[in-house]
Amino acid sequence: MALTTVILAAGQGKRMNSDMPKVLQPLGGRNMLSHVLDTAAALEPKAINVVYGHGGEAVPKAFPELTVDWTLQAEQLGTGHALGQALPGIPEDHQILVLFGDVPLVTVVSLRALLGEVPTGGIALLTVFLEKPCGYGRILRDDEGAVTAIVEDKDATPAQRAINEINTGMMVAQASSLRRWVEVLNDDNHQGEFYLTDVIAMAVGEGVPVVGVSVADPDEVLGVNDRVQLAAAERVLQRRYAQDVMARGATLADPGRFDLRGALTIGRDVFIDVGVVFSGDVVLGDRVQIGPNAIISDTSLGDDCRVHEHCVIDGVVAGSHCEIGPFARLRPGTEFEERVKVGNFVEVKASSVAPGSKMNHLSYVGDTRVGQDVNIGAGTITCNYDGAAKHRTQIGDRVFVGSGAMLVAPLEIGAGATIAAGSTITKNVPGEALAVERNRQATVKGWKRPTKPAK
Protein backbone atom coordinates (compact mmCIF):
# COMPACT_ATOMS: atom_id res chain seq x y z
CA MET A 1 0.00 0.00 0.00
CA ALA A 2 1.29 3.51 -0.84
CA LEU A 3 2.41 5.43 2.23
CA THR A 4 1.90 9.10 3.13
CA THR A 5 3.58 10.41 6.26
CA VAL A 6 1.79 13.25 8.01
CA ILE A 7 3.81 15.24 10.54
CA LEU A 8 1.75 17.29 12.99
CA ALA A 9 3.69 20.45 13.70
CA ALA A 10 1.16 23.25 14.12
CA GLY A 11 1.06 23.49 17.91
CA GLN A 12 2.24 26.55 19.77
CA GLY A 13 4.07 24.75 22.51
CA LYS A 14 2.69 26.89 25.34
CA ARG A 15 4.82 25.09 27.89
CA MET A 16 8.00 26.32 26.12
CA ASN A 17 7.22 29.96 26.98
CA SER A 18 8.87 30.96 23.71
CA ASP A 19 8.19 33.29 20.78
CA MET A 20 9.43 30.55 18.46
CA PRO A 21 7.16 27.78 17.13
CA LYS A 22 7.97 24.71 19.21
CA VAL A 23 9.05 22.52 16.30
CA LEU A 24 11.75 25.08 15.39
CA GLN A 25 13.44 24.78 18.79
CA PRO A 26 17.04 23.58 18.31
CA LEU A 27 18.05 19.99 18.84
CA GLY A 28 21.58 18.92 17.97
CA GLY A 29 22.20 22.25 16.25
CA ARG A 30 19.19 22.19 13.93
CA ASN A 31 15.49 22.48 14.49
CA MET A 32 13.44 19.67 16.02
CA LEU A 33 11.22 19.25 12.97
CA SER A 34 14.20 18.57 10.68
CA HIS A 35 14.94 15.40 12.66
CA VAL A 36 11.38 14.13 12.15
CA LEU A 37 11.56 15.03 8.45
CA ASP A 38 14.79 13.04 8.05
CA THR A 39 13.25 10.02 9.73
CA ALA A 40 10.12 10.34 7.59
CA ALA A 41 12.19 10.59 4.40
CA ALA A 42 14.21 7.49 5.35
CA LEU A 43 10.96 5.47 5.14
CA GLU A 44 10.67 6.55 1.48
CA PRO A 45 6.95 7.36 1.56
CA LYS A 46 5.05 8.50 -1.55
CA ALA A 47 4.49 11.87 0.12
CA ILE A 48 5.29 13.78 3.28
CA ASN A 49 2.68 16.22 4.52
CA VAL A 50 3.55 18.68 7.28
CA VAL A 51 0.73 20.39 9.16
CA TYR A 52 1.90 23.81 10.34
CA GLY A 53 0.07 26.69 11.95
CA HIS A 54 1.42 28.43 15.02
CA GLY A 55 4.14 30.87 13.95
CA GLY A 56 2.66 30.93 10.45
CA GLU A 57 5.03 30.82 7.52
CA ALA A 58 8.08 30.73 9.83
CA VAL A 59 7.91 26.93 9.82
CA PRO A 60 7.87 26.30 6.03
CA LYS A 61 10.37 29.17 5.61
CA ALA A 62 12.81 27.27 7.81
CA PHE A 63 12.97 24.64 5.03
CA PRO A 64 13.38 26.62 1.80
CA GLU A 65 14.74 23.69 -0.19
CA LEU A 66 12.38 20.99 0.99
CA THR A 67 9.75 19.54 -1.34
CA VAL A 68 6.97 18.35 0.97
CA ASP A 69 3.28 19.18 1.08
CA TRP A 70 2.61 21.93 3.60
CA THR A 71 -0.89 22.05 5.12
CA LEU A 72 -1.96 25.10 7.08
CA GLN A 73 -3.97 24.52 10.24
CA ALA A 74 -5.05 28.10 10.82
CA GLU A 75 -6.44 27.45 14.30
CA GLN A 76 -4.88 24.88 16.57
CA LEU A 77 -7.93 22.92 17.63
CA GLY A 78 -6.18 19.66 18.50
CA THR A 79 -4.27 16.77 16.94
CA GLY A 80 -7.39 15.21 15.36
CA HIS A 81 -8.31 18.53 13.77
CA ALA A 82 -4.71 18.91 12.57
CA LEU A 83 -4.75 15.57 10.78
CA GLY A 84 -8.18 16.48 9.38
CA GLN A 85 -6.64 19.47 7.57
CA ALA A 86 -4.18 17.24 5.72
CA LEU A 87 -6.59 14.43 4.79
CA PRO A 88 -8.29 16.08 1.74
CA GLY A 89 -4.97 16.06 -0.11
CA ILE A 90 -4.26 12.37 0.52
CA PRO A 91 -5.65 9.57 -1.73
CA GLU A 92 -8.22 7.28 -0.02
CA ASP A 93 -6.16 4.15 -0.58
CA HIS A 94 -2.96 5.47 1.01
CA GLN A 95 -1.74 4.23 4.32
CA ILE A 96 -1.07 7.16 6.65
CA LEU A 97 1.71 7.23 9.20
CA VAL A 98 1.15 10.02 11.72
CA LEU A 99 4.29 11.49 13.30
CA PHE A 100 4.56 14.37 15.75
CA GLY A 101 6.92 17.29 15.21
CA ASP A 102 7.62 17.29 18.93
CA VAL A 103 8.61 13.61 19.15
CA PRO A 104 11.91 13.96 17.31
CA LEU A 105 13.99 10.95 18.31
CA VAL A 106 11.92 8.03 17.06
CA THR A 107 14.01 5.66 14.95
CA VAL A 108 13.41 4.34 11.46
CA VAL A 109 13.68 0.80 12.89
CA SER A 110 10.75 1.34 15.27
CA LEU A 111 8.59 2.93 12.58
CA ARG A 112 9.30 0.07 10.17
CA ALA A 113 8.26 -2.34 12.92
CA LEU A 114 5.05 -0.36 13.40
CA LEU A 115 4.32 -0.36 9.64
CA GLY A 116 4.84 -4.10 9.63
CA GLU A 117 2.13 -4.66 12.26
CA VAL A 118 -0.84 -2.82 10.71
CA PRO A 119 -3.83 -5.20 10.77
CA THR A 120 -5.97 -5.35 7.61
CA GLY A 121 -8.32 -2.39 7.67
CA GLY A 122 -7.13 -1.47 11.18
CA ILE A 123 -4.76 0.68 13.21
CA ALA A 124 -1.26 0.09 14.50
CA LEU A 125 -0.37 2.27 17.44
CA LEU A 126 3.14 2.88 18.84
CA THR A 127 3.18 2.69 22.63
CA VAL A 128 5.77 2.53 25.37
CA PHE A 129 5.88 1.63 29.05
CA LEU A 130 7.09 4.46 31.27
CA GLU A 131 7.94 4.43 34.96
CA LYS A 132 6.57 7.97 35.14
CA PRO A 133 3.76 8.17 32.57
CA CYS A 134 2.61 11.59 33.79
CA GLY A 135 1.53 13.99 31.03
CA TYR A 136 1.00 11.38 28.31
CA GLY A 137 -2.16 9.73 26.99
CA ARG A 138 -2.70 6.29 28.60
CA ILE A 139 -3.49 3.11 26.66
CA LEU A 140 -6.62 1.37 27.94
CA ARG A 141 -6.86 -2.39 27.38
CA ASP A 142 -9.66 -4.88 28.12
CA ASP A 143 -9.34 -8.10 30.15
CA GLU A 144 -7.99 -9.92 27.08
CA GLY A 145 -5.31 -7.25 26.68
CA ALA A 146 -6.84 -5.73 23.52
CA VAL A 147 -6.52 -1.94 23.13
CA THR A 148 -9.88 -0.25 23.70
CA ALA A 149 -9.12 3.47 23.90
CA ILE A 150 -6.62 6.21 24.72
CA VAL A 151 -7.41 8.59 27.56
CA GLU A 152 -5.52 11.87 27.82
CA ASP A 153 -3.69 12.59 31.08
CA LYS A 154 -5.94 15.55 31.86
CA ASP A 155 -9.11 13.50 31.27
CA ALA A 156 -7.95 10.37 33.08
CA THR A 157 -9.33 9.02 36.35
CA PRO A 158 -6.80 8.33 39.14
CA ALA A 159 -6.97 4.61 38.28
CA GLN A 160 -6.28 5.34 34.60
CA ARG A 161 -3.40 7.64 35.56
CA ALA A 162 -1.72 4.65 37.23
CA ILE A 163 -1.43 2.90 33.82
CA ASN A 164 2.17 2.83 32.65
CA GLU A 165 1.57 2.16 28.98
CA ILE A 166 1.36 5.47 27.10
CA ASN A 167 0.53 6.74 23.62
CA THR A 168 3.64 7.95 21.74
CA GLY A 169 1.36 9.72 19.26
CA MET A 170 2.53 7.68 16.28
CA MET A 171 -0.02 5.54 14.48
CA VAL A 172 -0.74 3.99 11.10
CA ALA A 173 -4.14 3.51 9.42
CA GLN A 174 -5.70 3.79 5.99
CA ALA A 175 -6.65 7.29 4.80
CA SER A 176 -10.29 6.38 4.13
CA SER A 177 -10.77 5.04 7.67
CA LEU A 178 -9.06 8.00 9.31
CA ARG A 179 -11.27 10.37 7.32
CA ARG A 180 -14.41 8.55 8.53
CA TRP A 181 -13.37 8.86 12.17
CA VAL A 182 -11.78 12.32 12.14
CA GLU A 183 -14.92 13.84 10.59
CA VAL A 184 -16.99 12.93 13.64
CA LEU A 185 -14.55 13.81 16.43
CA ASN A 186 -15.83 16.16 19.10
CA ASP A 187 -14.06 18.49 21.51
CA ASP A 188 -16.02 17.40 24.56
CA ASN A 189 -13.01 16.97 26.87
CA HIS A 190 -10.89 18.76 29.45
CA GLN A 191 -8.84 20.72 26.90
CA GLY A 192 -11.73 21.46 24.50
CA GLU A 193 -9.71 19.98 21.62
CA PHE A 194 -10.39 17.52 18.82
CA TYR A 195 -8.18 14.66 19.99
CA LEU A 196 -6.75 12.29 17.39
CA THR A 197 -6.53 9.75 20.18
CA ASP A 198 -10.34 9.44 20.22
CA VAL A 199 -10.26 7.58 16.89
CA ILE A 200 -9.06 4.49 18.76
CA ALA A 201 -12.32 4.04 20.70
CA MET A 202 -14.28 4.72 17.49
CA ALA A 203 -12.38 2.05 15.61
CA VAL A 204 -12.84 -0.44 18.44
CA GLY A 205 -16.57 0.42 18.47
CA GLU A 206 -16.74 -0.50 14.78
CA GLY A 207 -14.98 -3.78 15.47
CA VAL A 208 -11.90 -2.60 13.59
CA PRO A 209 -8.68 -4.23 14.88
CA VAL A 210 -6.24 -2.02 16.81
CA VAL A 211 -2.74 -3.31 17.51
CA GLY A 212 -0.48 -1.69 20.06
CA VAL A 213 3.21 -2.07 19.24
CA SER A 214 5.52 -1.05 22.06
CA VAL A 215 9.06 0.27 21.69
CA ALA A 216 11.67 -0.97 24.12
CA ASP A 217 13.54 2.30 24.60
CA PRO A 218 11.45 5.11 26.11
CA ASP A 219 14.09 7.69 25.07
CA GLU A 220 13.03 7.25 21.45
CA VAL A 221 9.55 8.53 21.99
CA LEU A 222 10.25 11.35 24.42
CA GLY A 223 7.76 14.14 23.71
CA VAL A 224 9.23 17.63 23.89
CA ASN A 225 6.72 19.99 25.47
CA ASP A 226 8.97 22.12 27.67
CA ARG A 227 12.62 23.05 27.98
CA VAL A 228 13.35 20.35 30.53
CA GLN A 229 12.22 17.74 27.98
CA LEU A 230 14.13 19.61 25.25
CA ALA A 231 17.32 19.30 27.30
CA ALA A 232 16.57 15.62 27.95
CA ALA A 233 16.07 15.01 24.21
CA GLU A 234 19.34 16.83 23.48
CA ARG A 235 21.23 14.49 25.83
CA VAL A 236 19.61 11.40 24.30
CA LEU A 237 20.62 12.58 20.84
CA GLN A 238 24.16 13.46 21.95
CA ARG A 239 24.56 10.06 23.62
CA ARG A 240 23.59 8.47 20.28
CA TYR A 241 26.12 10.61 18.43
CA ALA A 242 28.80 9.86 21.03
CA GLN A 243 28.20 6.11 20.72
CA ASP A 244 28.45 6.35 16.96
CA VAL A 245 31.70 8.34 17.11
CA MET A 246 33.19 5.85 19.59
CA ALA A 247 32.15 2.94 17.37
CA ARG A 248 34.00 4.59 14.50
CA GLY A 249 37.28 4.84 16.42
CA ALA A 250 37.35 7.88 18.69
CA THR A 251 38.02 7.85 22.41
CA LEU A 252 35.82 10.30 24.27
CA ALA A 253 37.02 11.44 27.68
CA ASP A 254 33.37 11.57 28.72
CA PRO A 255 30.54 10.61 26.33
CA GLY A 256 28.20 12.56 28.61
CA ARG A 257 30.04 15.76 27.75
CA PHE A 258 30.13 15.51 23.97
CA ASP A 259 28.32 17.92 21.68
CA LEU A 260 27.89 17.49 17.96
CA ARG A 261 25.77 20.03 16.09
CA GLY A 262 26.53 18.95 12.56
CA ALA A 263 28.48 16.14 10.92
CA LEU A 264 31.74 14.71 12.23
CA THR A 265 33.98 12.50 10.09
CA ILE A 266 36.86 10.90 11.95
CA GLY A 267 39.90 8.72 11.33
CA ARG A 268 41.22 6.10 13.72
CA ASP A 269 42.42 6.64 17.27
CA VAL A 270 41.09 10.16 17.58
CA PHE A 271 40.91 11.52 21.13
CA ILE A 272 38.31 14.08 22.16
CA ASP A 273 38.44 15.63 25.61
CA VAL A 274 35.50 17.03 27.56
CA GLY A 275 33.48 20.12 26.65
CA VAL A 276 34.27 20.12 22.94
CA VAL A 277 31.53 21.47 20.63
CA PHE A 278 31.58 20.48 16.96
CA SER A 279 29.33 22.22 14.44
CA GLY A 280 28.91 22.25 10.68
CA ASP A 281 31.08 19.75 8.81
CA VAL A 282 34.16 18.71 10.74
CA VAL A 283 36.75 16.19 9.57
CA LEU A 284 39.44 14.85 11.92
CA GLY A 285 42.25 12.67 10.53
CA ASP A 286 43.89 9.70 12.22
CA ARG A 287 45.26 10.23 15.73
CA VAL A 288 43.99 13.81 16.02
CA GLN A 289 43.80 14.94 19.64
CA ILE A 290 41.36 17.61 20.74
CA GLY A 291 41.88 19.19 24.16
CA PRO A 292 39.09 20.27 26.49
CA ASN A 293 36.68 23.11 25.70
CA ALA A 294 37.52 23.54 22.04
CA ILE A 295 34.85 24.94 19.71
CA ILE A 296 35.38 23.55 16.21
CA SER A 297 33.19 24.42 13.18
CA ASP A 298 33.43 23.59 9.47
CA THR A 299 37.04 22.50 9.78
CA SER A 300 39.29 19.74 8.54
CA LEU A 301 42.36 18.72 10.57
CA GLY A 302 44.90 16.31 9.06
CA ASP A 303 46.46 13.25 10.67
CA ASP A 304 48.25 13.73 14.00
CA CYS A 305 47.08 17.30 14.53
CA ARG A 306 46.83 18.38 18.12
CA VAL A 307 44.47 21.03 19.43
CA HIS A 308 45.22 22.12 22.97
CA GLU A 309 42.60 23.38 25.39
CA HIS A 310 40.27 26.37 24.86
CA CYS A 311 40.65 26.94 21.11
CA VAL A 312 38.03 28.41 18.75
CA ILE A 313 38.51 27.03 15.25
CA ASP A 314 36.15 27.96 12.41
CA GLY A 315 36.51 27.38 8.69
CA VAL A 316 40.04 25.97 8.79
CA VAL A 317 41.85 23.40 6.68
CA ALA A 318 45.02 22.06 8.30
CA GLY A 319 47.49 19.46 7.04
CA SER A 320 49.08 16.81 9.23
CA HIS A 321 51.03 17.32 12.47
CA CYS A 322 49.83 20.87 13.16
CA GLU A 323 49.72 22.06 16.75
CA ILE A 324 47.15 24.62 17.82
CA GLY A 325 46.61 26.47 21.10
CA PRO A 326 45.95 26.59 23.95
CA PHE A 327 43.74 29.69 23.53
CA ALA A 328 44.12 30.10 19.77
CA ARG A 329 41.43 31.57 17.53
CA LEU A 330 41.48 30.46 13.91
CA ARG A 331 38.97 32.11 11.62
CA PRO A 332 37.52 31.26 8.20
CA GLY A 333 39.89 31.04 5.27
CA THR A 334 42.82 29.79 7.34
CA GLU A 335 44.85 27.11 5.58
CA PHE A 336 47.79 25.39 7.22
CA GLU A 337 50.07 22.95 5.44
CA GLU A 338 51.94 20.39 7.61
CA ARG A 339 53.64 21.01 10.95
CA VAL A 340 52.33 24.54 11.46
CA LYS A 341 52.38 25.69 15.08
CA VAL A 342 50.09 28.33 16.52
CA GLY A 343 50.26 29.08 20.21
CA ASN A 344 48.31 30.98 22.84
CA PHE A 345 46.39 34.17 22.06
CA VAL A 346 47.12 33.96 18.36
CA GLU A 347 44.39 34.92 15.88
CA VAL A 348 44.68 33.89 12.24
CA LYS A 349 42.21 34.91 9.53
CA ALA A 350 42.10 34.24 5.77
CA SER A 351 45.76 33.30 5.69
CA SER A 352 47.75 30.38 4.35
CA VAL A 353 50.78 29.06 6.16
CA ALA A 354 53.39 26.76 4.57
CA PRO A 355 55.00 23.79 6.34
CA GLY A 356 56.98 24.18 9.53
CA SER A 357 56.08 27.81 10.29
CA LYS A 358 55.37 28.97 13.83
CA MET A 359 53.59 31.78 15.59
CA ASN A 360 53.66 30.86 19.21
CA HIS A 361 52.33 33.83 21.16
CA LEU A 362 49.97 36.82 21.03
CA SER A 363 49.83 37.54 17.30
CA TYR A 364 47.29 38.63 14.68
CA VAL A 365 47.89 37.31 11.19
CA GLY A 366 45.22 38.24 8.65
CA ASP A 367 45.06 38.22 4.82
CA THR A 368 48.59 36.87 4.77
CA ARG A 369 50.62 34.28 2.93
CA VAL A 370 53.28 32.85 5.24
CA GLY A 371 56.06 30.78 3.59
CA GLN A 372 57.88 27.74 4.98
CA ASP A 373 59.81 27.62 8.25
CA VAL A 374 58.89 31.17 9.18
CA ASN A 375 59.08 32.29 12.78
CA ILE A 376 56.62 34.98 13.79
CA GLY A 377 57.64 36.48 17.12
CA ALA A 378 55.36 37.23 20.04
CA GLY A 379 53.08 40.20 19.61
CA THR A 380 53.45 40.51 15.83
CA ILE A 381 50.51 42.16 14.08
CA THR A 382 49.75 42.23 10.38
CA CYS A 383 48.10 45.67 10.08
CA ASN A 384 45.77 44.63 7.27
CA TYR A 385 43.05 47.27 7.57
CA ASP A 386 43.49 50.99 6.86
CA GLY A 387 39.97 51.92 7.88
CA ALA A 388 38.60 51.48 4.38
CA ALA A 389 40.09 48.40 2.74
CA LYS A 390 41.91 45.21 3.65
CA HIS A 391 45.43 44.63 2.31
CA ARG A 392 47.60 41.56 1.94
CA THR A 393 50.93 40.63 3.48
CA GLN A 394 53.39 38.19 1.90
CA ILE A 395 56.04 36.65 4.10
CA GLY A 396 58.66 34.55 2.26
CA ASP A 397 60.24 31.25 3.34
CA ARG A 398 62.57 31.27 6.38
CA VAL A 399 61.68 34.85 7.38
CA PHE A 400 62.29 35.65 11.03
CA VAL A 401 59.95 38.29 12.46
CA GLY A 402 61.13 39.60 15.84
CA SER A 403 58.71 40.21 18.67
CA GLY A 404 56.35 43.17 18.66
CA ALA A 405 56.65 43.93 14.93
CA MET A 406 53.87 45.84 13.15
CA LEU A 407 53.72 44.70 9.52
CA VAL A 408 51.71 47.39 7.71
CA ALA A 409 50.01 45.92 4.63
CA PRO A 410 50.24 45.85 1.67
CA LEU A 411 53.68 44.41 2.34
CA GLU A 412 56.10 41.85 0.94
CA ILE A 413 58.96 40.41 2.95
CA GLY A 414 61.44 38.42 0.85
CA ALA A 415 62.70 34.92 1.71
CA GLY A 416 65.25 34.69 4.50
CA ALA A 417 64.74 38.32 5.64
CA THR A 418 64.91 39.33 9.29
CA ILE A 419 62.61 41.90 10.90
CA ALA A 420 64.03 43.40 14.06
CA ALA A 421 61.91 43.27 17.20
CA GLY A 422 59.72 46.31 17.80
CA SER A 423 59.86 47.53 14.19
CA THR A 424 56.96 49.09 12.31
CA ILE A 425 57.53 47.90 8.75
CA THR A 426 55.82 49.93 6.02
CA LYS A 427 58.09 49.23 3.02
CA ASN A 428 58.80 45.94 1.25
CA VAL A 429 61.89 44.10 2.55
CA PRO A 430 64.10 42.22 0.06
CA GLY A 431 65.18 38.62 0.67
CA GLU A 432 68.02 37.92 3.14
CA ALA A 433 67.97 41.58 4.38
CA LEU A 434 67.61 42.91 7.92
CA ALA A 435 64.95 45.58 8.45
CA VAL A 436 65.13 47.61 11.64
CA GLU A 437 62.78 50.49 12.31
CA ARG A 438 63.20 51.90 15.78
CA ASN A 439 65.08 54.66 17.58
CA ARG A 440 68.53 53.98 18.92
CA GLN A 441 68.52 53.34 22.62
CA ALA A 442 69.80 56.08 24.95
CA THR A 443 71.30 54.88 28.23
CA VAL A 444 71.89 57.33 31.11
CA LYS A 445 74.37 55.92 33.58
CA GLY A 446 73.70 56.20 37.33
CA TRP A 447 70.17 57.53 36.75
CA LYS A 448 68.39 58.41 40.00
CA ARG A 449 64.66 57.76 39.99
CA PRO A 450 62.52 60.56 41.51
CA THR A 451 61.56 59.82 45.12
CA LYS A 452 58.35 60.63 46.97
CA PRO A 453 58.68 63.66 49.33
CA ALA A 454 58.94 62.63 53.04
CA LYS A 455 55.70 63.23 55.02
Residue 181 in contact with ligand UD1, rule: CB under 6 A: no
Residue of the chain from 196, 199, 272, 429 that contacts ligand UD1 (CB under 6 A) = 196
Residue 100 in contact with ligand UD1, rule: CB under 6 A: yes
Task: Give the nearest distance from C-beta 56 to Ca ion in angstroms.
Answer: 20
C-beta closer to Ca ion: residue 214 or 225: 225
Give the CB-nearest residue to Ca ion. Answer: 223
Task: Give the nearest distance from C-beta 249 to ligand UD1 in angstroms.
Answer: 36
> What contacts 24+ positions apart, CB below 8 Å, involve 287-296?
291/325, 291/326, 292/253, 294/325
Segment interacting with ligand UD1 (CB under 6 A) among 160-168, 171-179, 347-355, 387-395: 160-168
Residue 81 in contact with ligand UD1, rule: CB under 6 A: yes
Judged by beta carbon distances under 5 to 8 A according to partner kind, the member of ligand UD1, Ca ion, none in contact with residue 313 is none
**Rounded-to-integer distance, Cα 35 and Cα 14, Å:** 21
336, 321 contact by CB (below 8 A): no
C-beta closer to ligand UD1: residue 162 or 436: 162
Residue of the chain from 225, 229, 360, 428 that contacts Ca ion (CB under 5 A) = 225
Task: Give the nearest distance from C-beta 230 to ligand UD1 in angstroms.
Answer: 13
C-beta closer to ligand UD1: residue 25 or 299: 25
Task: Give the nearest distance from C-beta 163 to Ca ion in angstroms.
Answer: 18
Task: Give the nearest distance from C-beta 260 to Ca ion in angstroms.
Answer: 25
How many residues touch ligand UD1 under the rule CB under 6 A: the total is 29
Q: For the chain, what is the largest distance between any 2 Cα atoms, rounded to a whole number of angstroms?
A: 109
C-beta closer to Ca ion: residue 229 or 428: 229
| Neighbouring C-beta atoms of residue 284, cutoff 10 Å | 26
End-to-end CA distance of the chain: 101
CA dihedral 15, 16, 21, 25 (to 10 degrees): -140
Packing angle of the helix pair 79-86, 175-182 (nearest 10 deg):
130
C-beta closer to Ca ion: residue 170 or 435: 170
| Neighbouring C-beta atoms of residue 143, cutoff 10 Å | 5
Residue 278 in contact with ligand UD1, rule: CB under 6 A: no
Task: Give the nearest distance from C-beta 223 to Ca ion in angstroms.
Answer: 4
**Rounded-to-integer distance, Cα 402 and Cα 79, Å:** 69
Cα angle value 48/52/57 (rounded, 5°) = 115
C-beta closer to Ca ion: residue 73 or 382: 73
Q: Which of 35, 94, 308, 361 is catalytic?
A: 361
397, 379 contact by CB (below 8 A): no
**Rounded-to-integer distance, Cα 64 and Cα 69, Å:** 13
How many residues would you count in the chain? 455
Parallel, antiparallel or unpaired: strands 123-129 and 165-174? antiparallel
Task: Give the nearest distance from C-beta 236 to ligand UD1 in angstroms.
Answer: 14
Residue 21 in contact with Ca ion, rule: CB under 5 A: no
Residues 6+ apart with CB under 8 A from 113: 213
Annotated active-site residue 94? The verdict is no
Judged by beta carbon distances under 5 to 8 A according to partner kind, the member of ligand UD1, Ca ion, none in contact with residue 9 is ligand UD1
Judged by beta carbon distances under 5 to 8 A according to partner kind, the member of ligand UD1, Ca ion, none in contact with residue 167 is ligand UD1
Residue 270 in contact with ligand UD1, rule: CB under 6 A: no
240, 260 contact by CB (below 8 A): no
Cβ burial, residue 57 (10 Å; 0-12/13-18/19+): exposed
DSSP per residue, 393-444:
EEE-TT-EEPTT-EEESSEEE-TT-EE-TT-EE-S-B-TT-EE--SPPPP--
Cα four-point dihedral sign 349, 354, 355, 356: negative
Residue 102 in contact with Ca ion, rule: CB under 5 A: yes
Q: Residues 59-78 vs ligand UD1: string with x where CB under 6 A?
A: --------------x--xxx
Task: Give the nearest distance from C-beta 359 to ligand UD1 in angstroms.
Answer: 51
Residue 223 in contact with Ca ion, rule: CB under 5 A: yes
Residue 101 in contact with Ca ion, rule: CB under 5 A: no
Residue of the chain from 102, 273, 304, 314 that contacts ligand UD1 (CB under 6 A) = 102
| Active-site residue set | 361
- Interacting residues toward ligand UD1 by CB under 6 A: 8-11, 51, 73, 76-79, 81-82, 100-103, 136-137, 150, 152, 166-169, 195-197, 223, 225
